[in-house]
Amino acid sequence: MDSVTALGLVAAVLTTGSFLPQAIKTWKTKSTKDVSIVMYLLLCTGIILWTAYGFLIGSIPVIAANVVSFIFTFAILALKIKYK
């Protein structure tokens, strides 16, 4: 793998993985007052479109990063709806 692709993969792991601490925090505290529901509605919708785009251009990294991101962001959205 060339160094540019490696940089892209590290970037993907960081941005995708970033949603996990928020999901864990929200899961533990059951408090979502300060979390914007509009953000997670837009984000989940956008991530679904990114996944479709990934399939259409045949990019495994785009598909993989967005499927994992969707799991985390949808969990945050579901917790926001449950505990709002």
What is the rounded radius of gyration, in angstroms, for the C-alpha atoms of the chain?
14
Residue numbers 22-41 binding a second copy by CB under 8 A: 22, 24-26, 29, 31-36, 38-40
Please state the length of the chain.
84
What minimum distance in Å lies between the beta carbon of 12 and a second copy?
A: 8
67 binds a second copy per the rule CB under 8 A: no
- Which backbone phi and psi does 77 adopt, to 5 degrees? -60, -45
What minimum distance in Å lies between the beta carbon of 29 and a second copy?
A: 7
2: left (phi over 0), alpha (psi -120 to 50) or beta: beta
What minimum distance in Å lies between the beta carbon of 58 and a second copy?
A: 10
